Amino acid sequence: MRSEREKMVAGEPYDPEDAELCAARLLARQTCHRLNASEPSDDAFRRRLLASLFAEGGDTVWLEPPFRCDYGTNIYLGNRVYFNFDCVILDVCDVRIGDFAFFGPGVHIYAASHPLAAQQRRDFEFGKPVTVGNDVWIGGRAILCPGVTIGDRSVVGAGAVVTKDVPDGVLVAGNPARVLRTLERPAEER
């Protein structure tokens, strides 16, 4: 029989009150609390916390507290990812972020979702993975909804609500976000 954690990570309905999941969320909240209360000059302490919090990439991420996440263990970061103040990641499924991705203040990434039927919402949650490509810039207060992929080199405007996949190399903005224009391609692709 599959554990509730296995069901959660697979994007299947799961019981969020499962003891293992509750303990894992508490550990992530404790780690985030220590990070958010840490001295800005204590780089070594912060680096240890980030390396323990994230599945990958905690050794090169630059993160401005406060920061919050559900588990941390489902967040996979590429090289030199940057999070500005007040970012939130609900990582019930994998959240994979490419190299050199920048996140403005208050960006929220939601891999978590809930059934539309009220009775089911009482007992179950589910999720859909979120992927952010390389060299992506997400503007302040943008929201990435469950299941979206942001293509390489794309820019998401401040305050955008991304509900559908974003192709490579475009600027999107609005609620819901829509493509405004194509961005210049790198020289090696021309």
- Known catalytic residues are 114
d(CA 28, CA 72) in angstroms, rounded, equals 6
Cβ burial of 176 (10 Å; 0-12, 13-18, 19+) is exposed
Give the ranges where the chain is alpha helix by DSSP (H). 4-9, 19-37, 43-53, 118-121
Angle between helices 43-53 and 19-37 (to 10 degrees): 160
87: its two tokens: 């970012």
* Residue linked to tokens 């999107």: 172
* Pick from 154, 162, 190: nearest CA to 178: 162
As a 3-state breakdown, the chain gives helix, strand, coil percent values, each rounded to 5, of 25, 25, 50
Q: Which residues, including other chains, have CB under 8 Å from residue 15's CB and lie 6 or more apart?
A: 4, 21, 123, 124
CA atoms of 102 and 123, how far apart (whole Å): 36
